């Protein structure tokens, strides 16, 4: 008699498990460190001289047994993922292990473990996922109950010394058919060899009856699938099988000893006649010869007295060893293995997701990321808006611009560099999109070099087809995106995008700068097409009583360029993007009424709110005062860009309508009734002027 | 052996292999194969069976061959993978085949030759030969290097681990009933997750490898190369994102399928000339045998009894 020594499980934790853990931590668990049910699996050591690993892969989180080969035993596990390294260190491991051991013991006592042997294989996986550096620390525990029976065993003997070849074949077939009825290899089972030598394989629960009906211990054996290949030692699962003998009176008291089979027989397929492919010149398969058997039998000696019903569980051990064979956690660093692009994507995602853990649980990162943005204008504003959108995780950004990068651009326009200017023929839209991809390869950045046709900029016959094509292309772009940013530097260039956004009911945001003042505005979207204009917010043109015209005529140099304080564009662009993100979280999104006017909240009657805060209509800012003010303006029924008259005319006549608008500065004013309004106003003014001069002779009013 | 040389020649002498060879290590530089991805997208799904004539298979034949493999060698299992990467021409639950933690006990690079003489088997029942022929092939002078390598990877893992272990506060880790851990100087084994996907562009099966060191650290590219036979290491292996596994898991080594069809065609015609009727179900068994020339020491399971083969 001697003490048995057991080979511990060799845990094989997949990278796939850790990345899935990371994903779940970020997207599902958040700050929760509640235990999570997982599964592990192992095969018996049949083919190799090395231990069969205890596998925990990406599918370990799935319930059921899908994807686990039926030749493997499945073990239920508990994942405990803690939030900090300190938690990992300070957690009471002894208590954790004892808790699981207690459950194993209870299942043994209740008899549940006889029916479902895998309950004796419960394991613990303690992890800490450092998602920022892609380092993972993990520690397996395979709780084993320590019972004295392990010290009363005879050294293992080869199965071949106890069974004939015929009996071994019957054993393999019996095991295969037991596996087939259960759909899976049983971790524990029973073997009966009757007096005539006939061998039978049955479930673990059959052992007690078989033993009771046997005359000698040689007739009824316990057995377990053994991941250990050593001829001198059994593997870890035997430990709790021995504990089961203490928990339950399975072995008759009078038996001097019981035989336990460490099952390591090859899969029947391997024992079948080998594949004849001679002449193919291919190497033979690496497999143990059919006659090989690594199975061993261990004789454990009595006494076999089950402990009392309410006996406390025996002491438990089982924290696994690290790579230096000391009890301790292992670590895996995945950063070196990761595709840099995947690394970038994961890290960007992480930073955004972390906002959700504590600061803003309602944040809908998916909705923001899924929003496609069209940036009309790839200048100072376009560059700044794009970078801010990237920061929010927006993945689809398309630039529309007709210009090329100039030497003055890079210092203000954050996506360009000196190299882009050389040669003077690098299109801005493409350069900006390329820069976005360099910054973050996972972005879908597009570019269209389109000149935006403008009212008051007459189209010659030669240009007509190109302008028509440009307008149609811009329309396609507007249709294809969710949010349109108007970031050009003239008033009239915003007209067509405004009209297209209104016609296709897309959210449009305008950013416009003066020298030291800014306006950021979202264009109103009618809740339904027939809604009265007063009930919706205005667009960039709604406050105007003149139609858009060529504003570049007779301008001096300083008037032609956007001359504004350099910080202004960044402030304004950031406000526009934040307004968009806030709106995306509002239940009514773009159709939400302004709920922030001046410094007052909830000026509108709407109950619905965005968790990120107010959704003002306009933000007007002044650098000299370092102040921004929120304002609200209703839609104007004679607006030259978004009124029903204009939208309907565009829908009806399309490009022909646009051409009229481009060629005649008065066309839109006539169409919308502004001309008439001007006449009426002038008449009124003249009337008033007449009255005034009668009174005191002063001019103006 | 004759045919095998043909196979090797086919792999090495072709234009494509030459091109890959001339690129050398650069093939390993995070090849994402964007152009090929687009090409695969544009290639229509093969519908007409032509495995015997051309060595290519249809997705349907791939699934049937995979079912056979899973049935005969249950260490292989079908997997669904990342649903967002699922190919529409394959059943959702049968996107690729995977066998986990396959041991790899010796370095192929230390075998003097690919898989010619070492595997020559005497007698006519060649396939029953055991893998014990493998370690014998390992040249003795190579052993110290491998010990050093094993120690190095061990060191890589244990650097922070002993420090951590000291801070964990587990009173009693074991009760003295553990088998003595193996000596660090004894070479322990690497393991590989081996998967097989269907390559729509090359219309054949494609093998993917993800490896772990003895101490369960992901293998580096250079380390994986040690397990590819010297004849193929830099010519036929690329490092790419797995077509079905989430990108977070990192890049997989793949045996490039540009010559698979011609090799498979030769194997099928060899079978046919031996008077046996080739069937598509045999595809993966033949395929895995051929792949074992490339990764001779990765001991995945493909032994089965196939009637008439």
Question: Is the distance from CB of A104 to CB of A120 less than 8 angstroms?
Answer: yes
Q: Which region among A581-585, B34-38, B56-60, B191-195 has the lowest average model confidence (pLDDT)?
A: B34-38
Considering only CB atoms, which chain B residues are within 8 Å of A315? 175
Global pTM reads 0.73
B181: closest chain A residue by CA: A325
**In whole angstroms, what is the distance from residue A101 CA to residue A147 CA?**
13
B289: tokens are 């045998």
The answer to whether the CB atoms of B179 and A328 lie below 8 A apart is no
Compare B49 and A242 and report the one with higher pLDDT: A242
3 state SS of B191:
strand
- Beta-carbon neighbour count of residue A686 at 10 Å? 10
Interatomic CA distance for residues A179 and A272, integer angstroms? 18
Q: What is the DSSP string of A123-156?
A: EEEEEEEETTTTEEEEEEEEEEE--GGGGSBPPP
From the CA of A65, how many Å to the nearest CA of chain B? Answer: 12
Distances (CA, A) of B68 to A276, B71, B282, B304: 17, 5, 8, 10
Choose, from B104, B204, B258, B293, the residue flagged as catalytic.
B258
Select from B119, B177, B181 the Cβ nearest to the Cβ of A6. B177
pLDDT tens digits, A114-145: 999 999 999 999 999 988 888 899 999 999 99
Task: Find residues 36-55 of chain A whose CB sits inside 8 Å of chain B.
Answer: 43, 47-48, 50, 52-53, 55
Q: In which element (H, E) is residue A55 found? A: strand A54-56
User: Which residue in the set B1, B127, B301 is minimally distant from A274, CB to CB?
Assistant: B127
Residue in A with minimal Cα distance to B289: A282
Q: How far is B128 from chain A (nearest CA, A)?
A: 6
- Confidence (pLDDT) at B194: 94
Size of interface A-B (CB pairs under 8 A): 269
B163: nearest CA partner in chain A: A328
Contacts of B151 in chain A (CB under 8 A): none
- pLDDT score for A291: 56
What is the C-alpha separation between A81 and A240, in angstroms, rounded?
26
Nearest to A317 among B3, B172, B218 (CB): B172
Within 10 angstroms of residue A561's Cβ, the number of other Cβ atoms is 11
Asked if residue A507 lies in contact with residue A615, where contact means CB atoms within 8 angstroms, the answer is: no
Enumerate the residues of chain A whose CB falls inside 8 A of the CB of residue B1.
281
CA distance A584 to chain B (A): 25
Rounded to whole angstroms, the Cα distance separating B10 from A691 reads 103
Query: Count of CB atoms within 10 A of residue A208's CB?
Result: 18
pLDDT of residue B10: 42
Residues B75, A71: C-beta atoms closer than 8 Å = yes
Kindly indicate the confidence band of residue B28, based on its pLDDT and cuts at 50, 70 and 90: very low
Element (H, E) at A509: strand A507-513
Q: What is the CA radius of gyration of chain B?
A: 21
Cβ <8 Å between B2 and A7: no
Chain A interface mutation, best of B124, B127, B132, B246, highest count of A Cβ atoms under 10 Å: B127
Q: Give the residue from B168, B232, B272 with the most A CB atoms within 10 Å of its CB, the best one to mutate.
A: B168
Contact yes or no for B250 and A337 at CB 8 A? yes
Q: Do A323 and B250 touch (CB under 8 A)?
A: no
Please give the residue of chain A at the shortest CA–CA distance from B171.
A94
Q: How far is A78 from chain B (nearest CA, A)?
A: 19
Span A144-174, pLDDT tens digits: 999 988 888 999 999 989 998 889 989 999 9
Give the number of other CB atoms < 10 A from CB of residue A103: 16
Residues 274-313 of A with CB under 8 A from B: 274-290
pLDDT above 90: percentage of residues in chain B: 12
In chain A, which stretches have pLDDT less than 70?
1, 48, 268-292, 337, 526-534, 547, 550-562, 599-606, 691-701
| Closest residue on chain B to A330 (Cα) | B161
Gap between the Cα atoms of A137 and A139, Å rounded: 7
Nearest to A276 among B77, B160, B309 (CB): B309
Q: Which of B164, B212, B248 sits opposite A329 (nearest CB)?
A: B164
Give how far the C-alpha of residue A156 lies from the chain's centroid of Cα atoms, to the nearest Å.
Answer: 50
Q: Given CB atoms, is A331 within the 8 Å cutoff of chain B?
A: yes
Q: Which of A513, A487, A625, A521 is nearest to A565 (CA)?
A: A513
User: Structure tokens of A676?
Assistant: 């008439």
Q: What is the predicted pLDDT for the residue at A682? A: 82
**Closest Cα in chain A to B2:** A281
Mutation target among B83, B177, B209 for the A interface, most CBs of A within 10 A: B177
Smallest Cα distance from B142 to chain A, Å: 21
Quote the CA–CA distance of A406 and A418 in Å, as a whole number: 9
Within B98-183, where are the H helices? 133-137, 143-166
Residues in chain A closer than 8 A to B125 (CB atoms): 274, 276, 278
Chain A residue closest to B266 (CA)? Answer: A280
- Give yes or no for a cis peptide into B186 (omega within 30° of 0): no
Kind of pairing between the strands at A257-263 and A220-225: parallel
If you average pLDDT over residues B131-145, what whole number do you get?
A: 38
User: What is the structure's pLDDT at A580?
Assistant: 96
Count of CB atoms within 10 A of residue A351's CB?
11
Phi-psi region of B128 (alpha: psi -120 to 50; beta: other; left: phi over 0): alpha
Q: How many whole angstroms separate alpha carbon A74 and alpha carbon A180?
A: 15
């Amino acid at each position: 008699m001697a003490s048995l020594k057991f080979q511990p499980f060799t845990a094989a934790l997949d990278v796939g498990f850790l990345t899935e853990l990371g994903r779940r931590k970020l997207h599902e668990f958040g700050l929760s460190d509640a235990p999570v049910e997982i599964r592990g699996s192992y095969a018996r050591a049949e083919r190799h001289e090395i231990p069969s690993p205890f596998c925990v892969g990406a599918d370990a989180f799935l319930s059921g047994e899908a994807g686990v080969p039926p030749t493997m035993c499945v073990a239920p596990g508990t994942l405990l993922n803690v939030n900090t390294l300190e938690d990992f260190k300070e957690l009471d491991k002894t208590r954790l292990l004892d808790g699981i051991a207690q459950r194993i013991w209870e299942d043994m006592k209740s008899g549940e473990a006889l029916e479902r042997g895998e309950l004796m294989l419960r394991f613990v996986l303690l992890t800490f996922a450092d998602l920022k550096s892609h380092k993972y620390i993990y520690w397996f525990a395979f709780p084993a109950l320590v019972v004295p029976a392990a010290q009363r065993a005879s050294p293992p003997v080869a199965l071949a010394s106890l069974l004939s070849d015929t009996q071994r074949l019957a054993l393999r077939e019996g095991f295969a058919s037991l596996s087939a009825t259960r759909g899976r290899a049983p971790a524990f089972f029973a073997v009966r060899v009757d007096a005539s030598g006939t061998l039978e394989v049955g479930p673990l629960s059959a052992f007690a009856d078989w033993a009771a009906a046997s005359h000698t211990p040689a007739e009824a054996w316990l057995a377990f699938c053994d991941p250990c290949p050593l001829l001198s030692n059994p593997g870890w699962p035997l430990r709790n099988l021995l504990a089961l003998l203490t928990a339950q009176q399975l072995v008759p008291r009078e038996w001097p000893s019981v035989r336990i089979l460490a099952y390591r027989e090859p899969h029947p397929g391997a024992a079948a006649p080998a594949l004849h492919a001679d002449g193919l010149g291919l190497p033979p398969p690496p497999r143990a010869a059919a006659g090989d058997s690594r199975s061993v039998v261990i004789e454990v000696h009595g006494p076999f007295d089950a402990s009392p019903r309410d006996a406390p569980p025996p002491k438990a051990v089982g924290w696994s060893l690290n790579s230096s064979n000391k009890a301790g956690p292992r670590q895996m660093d995945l950063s070196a293995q990761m595709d840099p692009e995947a690394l970038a994507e994961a890290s960007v995602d992480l930073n955004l997701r972390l906002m959700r853990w504590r600061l803003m649980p309602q944040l809908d990162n998916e909705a923001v990321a899924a929003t496609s943005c069209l940036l009309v204008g790839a200048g100072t504003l376009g560059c700044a808006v794009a970078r801010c959108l990237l920061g929010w995780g927006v993945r689809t950004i398309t630039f529309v611009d007709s210009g090329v990068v100039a030497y003055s651009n890079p210092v203000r326009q954050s996506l360009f560099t000196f190299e882009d200017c050389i040669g003077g023929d690098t299109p801005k839209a493409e350069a900006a999109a390329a820069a976005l991809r360099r910054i973050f390869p996972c972005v879908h950045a597009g570019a269209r070099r389109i000149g935006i046709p403008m009212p008051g900029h007459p189209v010659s016959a030669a240009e007509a087809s190109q302008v028509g094509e440009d307008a149609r292309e811009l329309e396609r772009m507007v249709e294809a995106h969710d949010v349109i940013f108007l970031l050009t530097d003239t008033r009239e260039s915003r007209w067509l995008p405004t009209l297209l956004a209104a016609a296709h009911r897309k959210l449009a945001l305008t950013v416009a700068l003066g020298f030291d003042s800014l306006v950021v505005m979202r264009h109103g979207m009618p809740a339904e097409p027939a809604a009265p204009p007063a009930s919706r917010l205005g667009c960039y043109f709604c406050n105007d009583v003149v139609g858009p015209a060529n504003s570049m005529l007779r301008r001096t140099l300083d008037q032609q360029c956007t001359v504004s304080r350099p910080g202004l564009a960044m402030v304004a662009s950031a406000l526009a993007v934040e307004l968009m993100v806030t709106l995306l979280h509002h239940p009514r999104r773009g159709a939400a009424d302004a709920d922030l006017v001046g410094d007052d909240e909830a000026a509108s009657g709407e109950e619905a709110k965005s968790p990120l805060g107010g959704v003002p209509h306009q933000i007007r800012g002044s650098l000299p005062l370092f102040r921004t003010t929120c304002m609200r303006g209703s839609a104007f029924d004679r607006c030259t860009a978004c009124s029903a008259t204009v939208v309907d005319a565009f829908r009806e006549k399309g490009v022909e309508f646009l051409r009229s608008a481009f060629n005649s500065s008065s066309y839109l004013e006539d169409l919308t009734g502004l001309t008439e309004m001007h006449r009426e106003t002038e008449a009124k003014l003249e009337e008033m002027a007449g009255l005034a001069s009668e009174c005191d002779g002063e001019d103006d009013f | 052996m004759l045919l095998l040389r043909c196979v090797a020649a086919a792999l090495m002498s072709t234009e494509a292999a030459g091109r890959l060879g001339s690129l050398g290590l650069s093939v390993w530089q995070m090849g994402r194969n964007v152009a090929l991805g687009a090409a695969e997208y544009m290639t229509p799904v093969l519908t007409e069976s032509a495995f015997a004539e051309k060595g290519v298979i249809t997705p349907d034949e791939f699934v049937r061959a995979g079912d056979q493999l899973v049935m005969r060698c249950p260490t292989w299992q079908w997997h669904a993978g990342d649903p967002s990467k699922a190919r529409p021409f394959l059943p959702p639950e049968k996107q690729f085949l995977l066998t986990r933690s396959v041991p790899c006990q010796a370095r192929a690079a230390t075998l003097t030759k690919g898989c010619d003489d070492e595997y020559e088997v005497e007698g006519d029942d060649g396939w029953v030969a055991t893998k014990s022929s493998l370690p014998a092939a390992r040249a003795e002078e190579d052993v110290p290097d491998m010990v050093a390598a094993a120690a190095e990877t061990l060191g890589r893992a244990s650097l922070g681990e002993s420090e951590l272990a000291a801070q964990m506060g587990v009173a009693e880790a074991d009760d003295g009933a553990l088998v003595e851990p193996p000596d660090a100087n004894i070479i322990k084994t690497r393991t590989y997750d081996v998967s097989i996907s269907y390559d729509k562009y090359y219309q054949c099966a494609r093998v993917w490898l993800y490896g772990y060191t003895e101490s369960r650290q992901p293998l580096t590219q250079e380390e994986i190369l040690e397990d590819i036979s010297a004849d193929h290491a830099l010519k036929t292996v690329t490092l790419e994102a797995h077509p079905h596994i989430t990108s977070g898991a990192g890049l997989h080594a793949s045996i490039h399928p540009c010559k698979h069809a011609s090799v498979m065609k030769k194997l099928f015609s060899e079978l046919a000339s031996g008077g046996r009727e080739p069937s598509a179900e045999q595809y993966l068994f033949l395929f895995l045998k051929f792949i074992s020339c490339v990764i001779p020491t990765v001991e995945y399971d493909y032994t089965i009894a196939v009637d008439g083969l």
